[in-house]
């Protein structure tokens, strides 16, 4: 399991076999997406819960790594974290 996926699961209290809803549409999460992407070569400094969001394949393809959707994803993720952690 990738480090950022483990951080996401542990931070939100999920186990690997749990149904994890996509933060955009509610379908099953397939990818843990970096909102502020790591870029080519990557950086471990981007692996923190405020920068990691669970997305299904369709939403990841539609919204992931596209600058015009970064604020959209950030806002959804902030609300998701608030509801999940409070």
Cβ pair 31, 60 in contact under 8 A: yes
Q: Is 46 helix (H, G, I), strand (E, B) or coil?
A: helix
Report the distance separating Cα 48 and Cα 26, nearest Å: 22
State residue 55's pLDDT score.
Answer: 98
Exposed, middle or buried by CB within 10 Å (0-12, 13-18, 19+), for 30? middle
Is the pLDDT at 45 greater than 70? The verdict is yes
Is the pLDDT at 41 greater than 60? The verdict is no
State residue 78's pLDDT score.
Answer: 97
């Amino acid at each position: 399991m990738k480090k950022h996926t483990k951080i996401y699961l542990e931070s939100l209290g999920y186990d690997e076999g749990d149904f994890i809803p996509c933060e955009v549409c509610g379908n099953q999460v397939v990818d843990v997406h970096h909102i502020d992407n790591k870029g080519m070569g990557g950086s471990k400094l981007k692996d923190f819960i405020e920068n990691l969001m669970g997305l299904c394949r369709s939403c990841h393809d539609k919204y992931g790594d596209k600058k015009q959707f970064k604020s959209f994803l950030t806002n959804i993720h902030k609300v998701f974290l608030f509801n999940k952690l409070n």
